[in-house]
Structure 1
Amino acid sequence: MTKYAALDVSMEQTAICVVDENGRKVAEGKVPTDPDAISDWLTGKGGEIERIGMETGPLAVWLWNELTKRGLSIVCLDARHANAALSMMPNKTDRHDAAGLAQIVRTGWFKEVRIKSHGAYVARALLSARDLLVGVRGKIENEIRGLLKTFGVMFGKKVGGFARRAEEIVSGELVAAPEIKAIVETMMEARRSIIERIKVLDARVRAAAKQNAMARLFMTAPGVGAVIALSVASTYDDASRFRRSSSAGAYLGLTPRRYESGEVSRNGRVSKRGDKLTRTHLYEAANVILTRQVGFSSLKAWGLRIAKGAGFKKAKVAVARKLAVILHAMWKTKEPFRYAAAAA
C-alpha cells in the first residue's frame, strides 16, 4: 500500500498526517519540532512512505536537510499553492492543515520549491545582513534631515557628502541650539558605526565573490559588481534548475502578469514574485547600464530604444529582466558577457 505524509510545522510542535493512495487516513499525531522526533514517528507509525510534504517557512530549509539526511523522501511545497487548497476548509487547525497537505502530496497538485545548497544560503545571509545595515543607514540620514527641517535648517546637498554637510551644520547653524546639536551628533555617531559595519560586510562580499567562479563570470557584464554577482549566483544556485534561460526573468518576478477571461485579455505589471533582493539588485544594475558611462553594448542600445518609447522606468525593468536571462545563459555556456551580441 502506497502512503503519503505531510507535516504542518510550527515553532514548538509539528502535526503529521499519513494517508494511503485512496486518501484515507492511516495515522496522525503531533510531535516536537525536531528532526529525530519527526523521523522516529514517521518510521514507527507511517512505515514505508512514498513522499512527505511540508510548506515553505522559516524552518523548512533546516528540516528538509535534516530529514533528507535520515533517508526520508521529503518535498517542500509552495505555500501560496498550498494555501489556495487549504483555504477551502471551513475550520483551520494544525491537524486539518496536515491532513489537507497530505491530500495535496497524494494528488501531486503542488509546486515543489527547490532547497538550495548550504553555500547559497550563507551568501544570502551575508547579502541580507548588508542590505539591512544599508537600510538602517538610510533611515538615520532621513531622520536627521527631517529633524533639522523642523527647526528651519535645510540640509540640502553639499560637495563632500552627507557627513561633511552634517559637520558644517553642527558646527555652524546648531551652535545656538545645544539640545538639537547633541541629538544630531549622537545620530551621526550611530551612522559612522553602521558605515564601519557595512565596510566589513562589503569586504566579505568581495571575498566571497572572488571565490565564486560564477560570480566572477557575472562581473564581466556591465553594471554587475560583487554584490549583484553574488546575489544572482546564490539565487540561481544551479544553472540546470531552469531548462530555458528565459525562465529566469519569470522566476524573479520581472515578467508581466497575464489575465484572460472570456472577452477580457490584458497584460498587467510585472508579477514581483520570487527573490525581492535579487530583483532589486538587477534593477540597480539596469539603472547603471542605461544612465552611466559603461561599455556600450547591444543590451544598452536595446534598453535606450525602449526608454525612448515607454520611458526609463519601464526600460529599466525590461533591461533587468534581459540581464537576468543573459546571466543565466552565461552560466550555462561558461562564456563571459559579449557586448556586441548581448541582446541577441
Structure 2
Amino acid sequence: MQITTIGIDLAKNVFQVHGANEHGKPILRKQLRRDQVVVFFSNMPPCLTGMEACGGAHHWARKLEALGHDVKLIAPQFVKPYVKSNKNDVADAEAICEAVSRPTMRFVPIKNIEQQSVLALHRARQGFVKARTAQANQIRGLLAEFGLVIPQGIAYIAKRVPELIEDATLPLTGVFRILINRLLEHLKLLDKQVDELEAQIKDWHKNSEMSRRLERIPGIGPITASAMTATIGDAKNFTNGRQLAAWLGLVPRQNSSGGKSTLLGMSKRGDAYLRTLLIHGARSVIYRANQRAETHAWLFKLINRRNANVAAVALANKTARIIWAMLVHNRDFNPIFKADRASV
C-alpha cells in the first residue's frame, strides 16, 4: 500500500522515519543517517510529512518541499500527547505521524532563508544585550563590595566608574583597579557589538516595505517591526488577529469547567522575544498617553481602570491584532480606522 503520511524525528545525525497509509496503518519504520535523508525522500512519492519545530526543522522543511512533499511543522507540546508509553525515537516518529494527520492540528509556518537570516541577527543582538547587562551588574556588584554604589541605569557605568577608578583617595588596590578597567573594556566591546547588529537590522528594515509600514504603529520601532515581519511571514496562516495574539501569548490562560469561566494571567506561549518587544513598546505608548491625558481615549480610560501591567498587555494584544490586519489586507496604519462591519 502507498505511504501517504510520514513522521520524522529529527536529530543531529540519526533520523527516525515512520510512514503510514491512508488508513493510518504503519507500513514503514526506518532509521536514516543525515546524508541518507535527501536520497530517501527523493525516491518517495509526494506525501504529507510532519516534523517537530526544533533546531534544523525549517532547513529540512525547505529541502523536502523542494522534492514535492507537503511538509508541516508541529510545536513539540502538540506532539507529546500522541506519544505512547515510553519515549524513544521510534515512538516520537510515530507520534509525529499521528499528530500531522489530525484535521484540527495547528502548524508552525515554515520560514525562508531571508527570514531566518534577519532573525539570527535579532537572536545574536539579544544575546549581546543580556551579556552587556550581566557585565554591568557584575561591575556594580564588585564596586558595591568596596562601598561604591553606582546610580541606576547602564549609562552611569561608563560615566562614573572611570572617575572612581582614577580617584587616588579611594582605598582601592592596583589589582582591583586594573580588573575594573578590563571589565569596562569588555562592556564597551559588548555595547559596540549591539550597535553594529542594530545597524544591520535597521538596514534590512529600510529595504522591507512591510516592516516600514509596521513602524508607523505607535509603540513599534525598527527592531520590533523587523522581528514581527520576519517571524510571522505570511499572516494568512492565522485566521484572524485573535489567533496571532494568542500565538504570541498575549491572551489569558483559562481554567474553566462546568460552565464557569476562570481567566488567569497571560499564557506566555509562543515567542518570548516578540512578546517582550510588544509589551515594552506598549509601556512607552502608555507613558505618552499619561502625559497627554486624553480623557476620551480608550487607552487613557483603560489606564485609570486597570493596573499598568494589565494595560500594557492589553495594548500589546491590540497592537498584535493591528499588525495582523495590516499584513493580511496590505494596508497602511490609520489611527482613526474603523472596520466596515457590514463587509465582515
Same fold (TM over 0.5): yes
The alignment's C-alpha RMSD in Å is: 2.8
Task: Give the aligned partner of residue 54 of structure 2.
Answer: 57
1:8 aligns with 2:9: yes
The Cα shift of 1:136 comes to 0.9
Q: Which residue of 2 aligns with 1:192?
A: 188
Deviation of the 1:341 alpha carbon: 4.6
8 Å contact 1:303–1:316 — kept in the other structure? no
Q: Which residue of 2 aligns with 1:75?
A: 72
Identity, % of aligned pairs? Answer: 25
CA distance in 2, matches of 1:124, 1:299: 39
Runs of 4+ in structure 1 off by over 6 angstroms are 293-300
Are 1:11 and 1:33, in contact at CA under 8 Å, matched by a contact in 2? yes
What are the superposed Cα offsets for residues 97-140 of structure 1, whole Å, 9 maximum, x if unpaired?
22232233345463222102222211111111111111111111
Q: How far off its partner does 1:343 sit? A: 11
The more displaced of 9-18 and 290-299 is 290-299
Instruction: Report the Cα distance in structure 2 between the residues aligned to 1:142 and 1:95, rounded to whole angstroms.
Output: 46
CA contact (8 A) 2:143 2:149 kept: yes
Match of 1:330 in 2: 326
1: CA distance, partners of 2:14 / 2:304 = 56
The 5-angstrom pairing of residues 83-232 of structure 1 reads 83-86=80-83, 89-108=84-103, 110-157=105-152, 161-172=156-167, 174=170, 176-232=172-228
Residues 42 and 67 in structure 2, CA contact (< 8 A), matched pair in contact too: no
Between the aligned partners of 1:182 and 1:332, the Cα distance in structure 2 is 56
More divergent stretch after superposition (280-289 vs 18-27): 18-27
After the TM superposition, which of the residue ranges 176-185 and 332-341 deviates more from structure 2? 332-341
The match for 1:24 is 25
Shift of residue 277, structure 1, vs aligned partner: 0.9
The normalised TM-score by structure 2 is 0.89
Conserved? CA contact 2:75–2:107, under 8 Å: yes
Equivalent-residue separation in structure 2 for 1:228 and 1:140 (angstroms)? 25
State the shift of 1:63 in Å.
Answer: 0.7
**Which residue among 281, 291, 308 is the counterpart of 2:304?**
308
Aligned residue identity for 1:40 = V
- The answer (yes or no) to whether the contact 2:109–2:233 under 8 Å persists in 1 is no
Distance in 1 between residues matched to 2:121 and 2:98, nearest whole Å: 38
Q: How far does residue 337 in structure 1 lie from its aligned partner after superposition?
A: 2.7
Distance in 2, matches of 1:318 and 1:299, equals: 18
Q: Any gaps of 5 or more consecutive residues in structure 2?
A: none
Indicate if the aligned counterparts of 1:297 and 1:339 stay in contact, CA closer than 8 A: no
Residue ranges of structure 1 left out of the alignment (5+ in a row): none
Structure 2: how far apart are the matches of 1:280 and 1:158?
19
